C-alpha cells in the first residue's frame, strides 16, 4: 500500500491571524509551522504501517506552497513520511480551494497512492473541504471527520464523527480520508528523525511537471472572488444572573433553559 | 530604511535569537518545548511538592532522543552542542529537576563512559542509557570534598585482578534510581573511575531528605562498603582528576543554557501576570516600576540567551575553553536568579505558591548556582584566566 498525506504550511498558532486588506487574503507572514491537524494524518499513516495488517510500502508527504513550505515537509518526514513532494509554482499563487484541490489532485495522479490522508482542516483557512475537492477531481470516494480506521486489503472501515454519534462506513480504495483530531495522539518526532529529515528525498514539482492546466489555477483560474471582508458581528453580551438567593437563581436559570427548550 | 520584510518584533524573543538558529535547531527546540508543555509543565508543581520525579519520564526522554543526544554512536543522536543546549533550555523552562536528570544521564554518566570507557563498557551501557531503560549517576562529590574534589577520601585498591572500593559519595543526582554509578576513587595510580552496577554487594544508597530546592529530582548518598568489582569495571581512559572534570565541563555547558529556560519561564510568568493583575483600577503592567522590572528581566533573559548561543557555536566549532563555560555558568545562573527574584515580587503573594512556576524556579536555581562548580569557584576560574594567578590551587 502507498499512502500520500496532504500537508500544509500554516502560520504558527501563536501568530495573530489577519486578512490583508490589499490582497483580501490571509496574511501568512511571520512564524510558520506544519498544520497541526495534518500531524494526525501522518500519525494515522504511521499507525497503519505499524499495525502490520497491510504492508505499507511508502508514506509520501505532499504539499503545495511557496519555497518556505519545504520546512513543513521536513517536519512531515521527521514525523515518519519516507519522502516528500513539493508542488510550487508562481502560477499557483492565489488559488482558491477548488483550484488548490485540482492542483493537488494532479500531483496525486502522478503518485497513484492507494490511500490519501489529510487533516480535517487547515489551521489558517479552516475550510474543512480540501479532501472532498481532491477526491472529486480524482473521482474516488471521500470521507471526512474520520476518527477510526480499520484497514483491510483493498478497503477501509472507518468511523466518522457525526453530529449525533458515529457513522461506520466501509470504503473501497483508493480513497481520500480526512481525519479528525480525535483519531490519535501524534507522536513527537525523535531527534534522530529531525536530523535525518533533510536526507530524505524531496521532489520539487512545477505546475507543468504534473500536467496542471494553469488556466485552472491561481487568482485567474479560481472560481471564487472575495468581494469584501467584514469582521464577524459582535456577540451580544450574555445574560448574567447574580447569585443572591440560590433558589431564586436556580429557578431563573431553569426558566431560561426551558424558554429555549434546552431542558 | 526599515522594510516591511522584517518579521514583527517578538516580545518573548526581543533579541531575535530565533534568527540565529537553523531550521533543524528550531525544530528540535520546538519539539522539546511541546514535550515539556505536555508532560512537564502541568506536573512540575506536583512533583516538586511531593519531592519526586517519575521514573517513567526517562524512557519518554529517551524516545525523543534527548539522553546523551550530543554523543555519537551507541544509539545516541549525535546532535550538535547548540541543539543540546536548546534542549536543556526548554527542559529547564519546565523544571531544573528534569534538566538535571538529562544532564546527569547524558553529560556526566554517559559522557564518562563514552569518553573514558572501554568498547565493551560502551556497548553494554550506552544504548540502554540512551533509550532511558537504564539510568546512570555520577559519584564525585563527598561530604567533605566539594569544590576541592582532589581531596576525596573514597579509595580503590587492587585485590588480585579485582578492585575493592571504600568510601562515601554525597549529593548524587539520580543516586538511588540509577542502574549504574560512575564512581571516582583515589588509587595508587591516581584518581580513577569505576562502573558500579546497582545491587553490587556492599553498595547502598540513601536519599537526602528535607531539600527545599530541586525537589523534582532524586538526590542521594552513595555508600561503598568494601565493594568488590571485577577488573573490567575500571574506566580505562581516565587516569587523573581530568577524567571527572571533563564530564563536569559538559554538564556545565548544559546549565549555561538550562538556566536561560528557567529565567524565561519566570519572566513570561511575570509578564502575563502583570497584564492580568489589576490594582488601582488598571493592570499593574502599566506602572512604571513594574515595567522597569519587566525591562530588566528581558535584558537578562536575552543577554543570557545570546551568551549561551555564542558558547554553543564555539563548542560546535571546537574552540570552546572551560574558562568560557565558567563565564557562561557564572553569568547565566546569576542572571536567572535575579530574574526569578524580581519575577517573584511582580507576582506579589502569588509569587510564593506553587500554582505559579516562579517560586519553584527560584528555589531550584539556588541548587543550580551551587552544583557543577559554585558561582564563587567560577569567579576564581575567571580570576585565574584574567590574572594568570590561581587563588585556590
Query: Domain holding B178: CATH number?
Result: 2.40.110.10
Are B161 and B228 contained in the same domain?
yes
Domain boundary among B239, B258, B273: B239
Are B123 and B62 contained in the same domain?
yes
Compute the count of residue pairs across chains A and B with CB atoms less than 8 Å apart: 45
The answer to whether A195 contacts B77, with C-beta atoms less than 8 Å apart, is: yes
pTM attached to this predicted model: 0.90
Find the closest chain A residue to B7 by CA distance. Answer: A30
The answer to whether A190 contacts B64, with C-beta atoms less than 8 Å apart, is: yes
Are B77 and B200 contained in the same domain?
no
Give the H/E segment covering residue B170: strand B162-173
A190 CB neighbours in chain B (<8 A) are 63-65, 77
Mean pLDDT taken over chain B? 96
Whether residue B46 lies in the annotated active site: no
Lowest pLDDT segment from A21-35, A67-81, B14-28, B227-241: A21-35
Q: Tell me, what's the pLDDT at A209?
A: 97
Residue B392 lies in a domain: no
All structural domains of chain A, each given as residue ranges with its CATH number in brackets, are: 2-221 (3.40.50.620)
The answer to whether B31 contacts A188, with C-beta atoms less than 8 Å apart, is: yes
Q: Tell me, what's the pLDDT at A195?
A: 95
How large is the average pLDDT for residues B249-259?
96
**CA–CA dist B306, B295 (Å, integer):** 16
Are B144 and B223 contained in the same domain?
yes
**CA–CA dist A192, A190 (Å, integer):** 5
The answer to whether A78 contacts B28, with C-beta atoms less than 8 Å apart, is: no
**CA–CA dist A242, B357 (Å, integer):** 34
Structural domain span for residue B204: 136-239
The answer to whether A197 contacts B27, with C-beta atoms less than 8 Å apart, is: yes
Domain boundary among B204, B239, B274: B239
How large is the average pLDDT for residues B79-92?
98
- Best B13, B27, B39 member to test A by mutation, with max A CBs in 10 Å, is B27
How large is the average pLDDT for residues A258-262?
88
Residue B99 lies in a domain: yes
B18 CB neighbours in chain A (<8 A) are 31
ipTM of the complex: 0.88
Are B254 and B383 contained in the same domain?
yes
A75 CB neighbours in chain B (<8 A) are 27
Are B380 and B270 contained in the same domain?
yes
β-bridge partners, B145: B142
What one-character-per-residue DSSP string does A183-250 give?
A: S--PPPPPHHHHHHGGGS-EEEE-TGGGT--GGGSHHHH-S-------PPPPPPPPP----SSHHHHH
Find the closest chain A residue to B66 by CA distance. Answer: A191
Q: What is the pLDDT of residues A196-232, one digit of tens each?
A: 999 999 999 999 999 999 999 999 999 998 888 888 8
How large is the average pLDDT for residues B256-279?
98
In the predicted structure, residue B276 carries a pLDDT above the cut 90: yes
The answer to whether A191 contacts B77, with C-beta atoms less than 8 Å apart, is: yes
A33 CB neighbours in chain B (<8 A) are 30
Q: What is the pLDDT of residues B366-384, one digit of tens each?
A: 999 999 999 999 999 999 9
B34 CB neighbours in chain A (<8 A) are 188
Q: What is the pLDDT of residues B307-352, one digit of tens each?
A: 999 999 999 999 999 999 999 999 999 999 999 999 999 999 999 9
Asked if A63 and A8 count as a contact pair (C-beta separation under 8 A), the reply is yes
Find the closest chain A residue to B64 by CA distance. Answer: A190
Are B214 and B287 contained in the same domain?
no
A194 CB neighbours in chain B (<8 A) are 24, 27-28, 31
Q: Tell me, what's the pLDDT at B2?
A: 45
Q: Tell me, what's the pLDDT at B1?
A: 43
The answer to whether A190 contacts B69, with C-beta atoms less than 8 Å apart, is: no
Q: Tell me, what's the pLDDT at A241?
A: 87
In the predicted structure, residue B269 carries a pLDDT above the cut 50: yes
Omega before residue A174 within 30° of 0, cis = yes
Residue B198 lies in a domain: yes
Q: What is the pLDDT of residues B17-64, one digit of tens each?
A: 999 999 999 999 999 999 999 999 999 999 999 999 999 999 999 999
β-bridge partners, B72: B77
Are B281 and B217 contained in the same domain?
no
Residue B2 lies in a domain: no
Are B147 and B124 contained in the same domain?
no
The answer to whether A30 contacts B69, with C-beta atoms less than 8 Å apart, is: no
Are B154 and B121 contained in the same domain?
no
* CATH number assigned to the domain comprising residue B79: 1.10.540.10
Are B107 and B56 contained in the same domain?
yes
CA-CA distances (angstroms) from residue A10 to A7, A14, A131, B113?
10, 11, 17, 44
CA angle B102, B103, B109 (to 5 degrees): 100
Q: Tell me, what's the pLDDT at B4?
A: 61
**CA–CA dist A251, B65 (Å, integer):** 57
How large is the average pLDDT for residues A153-179?
94
Q: Tell me, what's the pLDDT at A232?
A: 84
β-bridge partners, B165: B156, B227
Domain boundary among B210, B239, B268: B239
Angle formed by the axes of helices B358-368 and B242-276, nearest 10°: 160
Asked if the C-beta of B77 comes within 8 angstroms of chain A's C-beta atoms, the answer is: yes
Asked if A143 and A127 count as a contact pair (C-beta separation under 8 A), the reply is no
- How many domains is chain B built from? 3
Mean pLDDT taken over chain A? 93
**CA–CA dist B317, B158 (Å, integer):** 41
**CA–CA dist B310, B125 (Å, integer):** 32
* CATH number assigned to the domain comprising residue B354: 1.20.140.10
Q: Which is more confidently placed, A113 or B1?
A: A113
Q: Which is more confidently placed, A236 or B338?
A: B338
Residue B34 lies in a domain: yes
Are B122 and B212 contained in the same domain?
no
Residue B74 lies in a domain: yes
Q: Tell me, what's the pLDDT at B343?
A: 98
Share of chain A above pLDDT 90, in %: 76
- Tell me the nearest-neighbour CA distance from A248 into chain B, angstroms: 32
Residue B60 lies in a domain: yes
Going by the DSSP 8-state scheme, the letter that residue B57 receives in this structure is: H
Residue B3 lies in a domain: no
Find the closest chain A residue to B29 by CA distance. Answer: A191
The answer to whether B27 contacts A189, with C-beta atoms less than 8 Å apart, is: yes
Secondary structure class of A222 (helix, strand, coil) = coil
Of B5, B366, B372, B384, which residue is the catalytic one? B372
How large is the average pLDDT for residues B123-131?
98
Q: Which is more confidently placed, B360 or A224?
A: B360
Q: What is the pLDDT of residues B151-164, one digit of tens each?
A: 999 999 999 999 99
Q: Tell me, what's the pLDDT at A233?
A: 87
Asked if the C-beta of B343 comes within 8 angstroms of chain A's C-beta atoms, the answer is: no
- Best B11, B31, B32, B39 member to test A by mutation, with max A CBs in 10 Å, is B31
**CA–CA dist B193, B154 (Å, integer):** 11
- Tell me the nearest-neighbour CA distance from A73 into chain B, angstroms: 12
* Nearest CA-CA partner of B233 in B197, B186, B270, B259: B197
Q: Which is more confidently placed, B159 or A12?
A: B159
Amino acid at each position: 500500500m502507498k499512502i500520500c498525506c496532504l500537508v500544509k504550511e500554516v502560520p504558527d498558532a501563536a501568530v495573530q491571524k489577519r486578512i490583508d486588506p490589499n490582497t483580501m487574503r490571509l496574511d501568512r507572514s511571520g512564524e510558520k509551522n506544519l498544520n497541526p491537524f495534518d500531524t494526525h494524518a501522518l500519525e494515522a499513516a504511521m499507525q497503519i504501517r505499524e499495525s502490520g495488517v497491510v504492508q505499507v510500502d511508502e508514506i509520501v508527504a505532499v504539499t503545495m506552497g511557496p519555497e518556505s513550505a519545504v520546512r513543513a515537509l521536513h517536519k512531515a518526514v521527521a514525523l515518519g513520511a519516507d519522502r516528500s513532494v513539493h508542488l510550487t509554482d508562481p502560477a499557483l499563487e492565489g488559488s482558491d480551494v477548488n483550484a488548490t484541490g485540482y492542483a493537488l489532485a494532479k500531483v496525486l495522479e502522478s503518485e497513484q497512492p492507494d490511500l490519501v490522508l489529510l487533516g480535517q482542516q487547515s489551521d489558517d483557512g479552516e475550510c474543512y473541504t480540501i479532501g472532498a475537492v481532491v477526491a472529486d477531481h480524482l473521482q474516488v470516494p471521500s470521507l471526512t471527520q474520520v476518527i477510526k480506521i480499520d484497514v483491510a486489503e483493498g478497503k477501509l472501515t472507518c468511523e466518522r464523527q457525526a453530529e449525533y454519534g458515529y457513522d461506520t462506513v466501509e470504503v473501497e480504495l483508493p480513497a481520500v480520508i480526512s481525519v479528525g483530531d480525535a483519531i490519535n495522539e501524534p507522536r513527537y518526532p525523535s531527534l534522530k528523525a529531525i536530523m535525518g529529515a533533510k536526507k530524505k528525498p524531496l521532489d520539487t514539482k512545477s505546475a507543468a511537471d504534473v500536467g496542471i492546466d494553469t488556466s485552472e489555477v491561481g487568482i485567474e483560474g479560481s472560481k471564487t472572488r472575495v468581494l469584501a471582508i467584514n469582521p464577524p458581528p459582535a456577540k451580544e453580551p450574555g445574560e448574567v444572573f447574580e447569585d443572591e438567593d440560590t433558589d431564586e437563581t436556580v429557578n431563573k436559570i431553569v426558566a431560561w433553559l426551558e424558554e429555549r427548550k434546552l431542558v | 530604511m526599515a522594510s516591511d520584510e522584517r518579521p514583527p518584533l517578538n516580545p518573548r524573543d526581543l533579541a531575535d535569537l530565533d534568527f540565529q538558529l537553523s531550521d533543524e535547531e528550531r525544530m528540535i527546540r520546538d519539539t522539546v518545548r511541546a514535550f515539556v508543555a505536555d508532560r512537564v509543565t502541568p506536573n512540575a508543581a506536583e512533583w516538586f511538592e511531593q519531592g519526586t520525579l517519575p521514573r517513567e519520564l526517562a524512557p519518554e526522554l529517551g524516545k525523543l532522543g534527548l539522553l546523551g543526544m550530543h554523543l555519537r554512536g551507541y544509539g545516541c543522536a549525535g546532535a550538535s552542542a547548540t541543539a543540546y543546549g536548546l534542549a536543556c533550555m526548554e527542559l529547564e523552562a519546565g523544571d531544573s529537576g528534569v534538566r538535571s536528570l538529562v544532564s546527569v544521564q547524558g553529560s556526566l554518566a554517559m559522557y564518562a563512559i563514552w569518553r573514558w570507557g572501554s568498547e565493551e563498557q560502551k556497548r553494554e551501557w550506552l544504548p540502554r542509557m540512551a533509550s532511558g531503560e537504564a539510568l546512570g549517576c555520577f559519584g564525585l562529590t563527598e561530604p567533605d570534598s566539594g569544590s576541592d574534589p582532589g581531596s576525596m577520601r573514597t579509595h580503590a585498591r587492587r585485590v588480585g585482578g579485582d578492585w575493592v572500593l571504600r568510601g562515601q559519595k554525597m549529593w548524587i543526582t539520580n543516586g538511588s534510581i540509577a542502574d549504574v554509578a560512575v564512581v571516582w576513587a583515589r588509587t595508587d595510580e591516581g584518581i580513577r573511575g569505576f562502573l558500579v552496577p546497582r545491587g553490587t554487594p556492599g553498595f547502598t544508597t540513601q536519599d537526602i531528605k528535607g531539600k527545599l530546592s530541586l525537589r523534582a529530582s532524586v538526590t542521594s548518598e552513595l555508600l561503598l562498603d568494601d565493594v568488590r568489582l571485577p577488573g573490567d569495571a575500571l574506566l580505562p581512559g581516565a587516569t587523573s582528576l581530568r577524567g571527572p572534570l571533563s564530564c563536569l565541563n559538559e554538564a556545565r555547558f548544559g546549565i549555561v543554557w538550562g538556566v536561560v529556560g528557567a529565567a524565561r519561564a519566570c519572566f513570561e510568568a511575570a509578564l502575563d501576570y502583570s497584564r492580568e493583575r489589576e490594582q488601582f483600577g488598571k493592570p499593574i503592567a502599566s506602572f512604571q516600576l513594574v515595567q522597569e522590572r519587566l525591562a530588566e528581566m528581558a535584558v537578562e533573559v536575552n543577554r543570557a540567551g545570546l551568551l549561551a548561543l555564542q558558547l554553543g557555536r564555539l563548542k560546535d566549532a571546537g574552540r570552546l575553553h572551560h574558562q568560557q563555560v565558567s563565564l557562561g555558568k557564572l553569568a547565566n545562573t546569576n542572571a536567572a536568579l535575579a530574574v526569578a527574584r524580581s519575577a517573584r515580587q511582580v507576582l506579589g503573594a502569588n509569587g510564593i505558591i506553587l500554582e505559579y512556576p516562579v517560586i519553584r524556579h527560584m528555589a531550584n536555581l539556588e541548587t543550580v548556582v551551587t552544583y557543577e562548580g559554585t558561582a564563587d569557584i567560577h569567579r576564581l576560574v575567571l580570576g585565574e584566566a584574567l590574572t594568570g594567578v590561581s587563588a585556590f590551587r
